Amino acid sequence: MPETLSNLYQLMDDTWNRIAEAYQFKCNGCKDNCCQSLFFHHTHIEKAYLRYGFEQLKPDTQKDILNKTKYYCRETFPVSGEIKSLKIMCPLNEKGRCILYPYRPMICRLHGLPHEIRKPGFNPLMGKGCETGLFDEKPYIEFDRTPFYQNMAQIEAEYRKKMKINHKIKETVAQMLLRSTENFPAAENPIL
């Protein structure tokens, strides 16, 4: 079992790359770009790591990203309280690529390929993968995300205990960056 976030991320990336290669799938961006999806993230350690990566950027780049996060949050989470999935590009996407790619959260690493998630006592929950991959026309190659989620849960629990965090989060990348830069001092690398 991976003991650190960096080890888990490496295992995710290696597994994703191996399965993508078996499908002969290469993600080159598409009309339905996953960076325009409304993804919520639930781990404090990933938020801290993303913020750490953000702080490695030049101040002008940080300022530009924060302006994009404000726009994203204003449009997606209006004062009315209704969440709107408007297909707004993630504030970290620059010219079709993630500017914080090495620091991206788990769901950004795992997205795109057909997969399964197994819960005890239930049938596997199957995800069909992105439309660009034309996966419906190909035989399924096993990609069980369950161990990744289990390992992440353990790493997150240890991080929350160490940092004395007792609340949950459900935030987009934009919210993670905006809220962490507004409310907290500089971040240390949580995975070293």
pTM: 0.87
The model's pLDDT over 140-190, given as tens digits with 9 standing for 90+, comes to 999 999 999 999 999 999 999 999 999 999 999 999 998 766 554 445 556
| Residue stretches of the chain with pLDDT short of 70 | 1-2, 29-32, 180-192
Please give the Cα distance from 134 to 49 (Å, whole number): 33
Give pLDDT, residue 180: 65
Please give the Cα distance from 132 to 9 (Å, whole number): 24
Instruction: Give the list of residues 6+ apart from residue 144 with CB closer than 8 angstroms, or none.
Output: 115, 116, 117, 118, 124
Structure tokens at 89: 């590009």
Structure tokens at 90: 């993630």
Structure tokens at 78: 């209006």
Q: Report residue 98: phi and psi, to 5°.
A: -75, 125
Structure tokens at 126: 């199957």
Please give the Cα distance from 164 to 144 (Å, whole number): 31
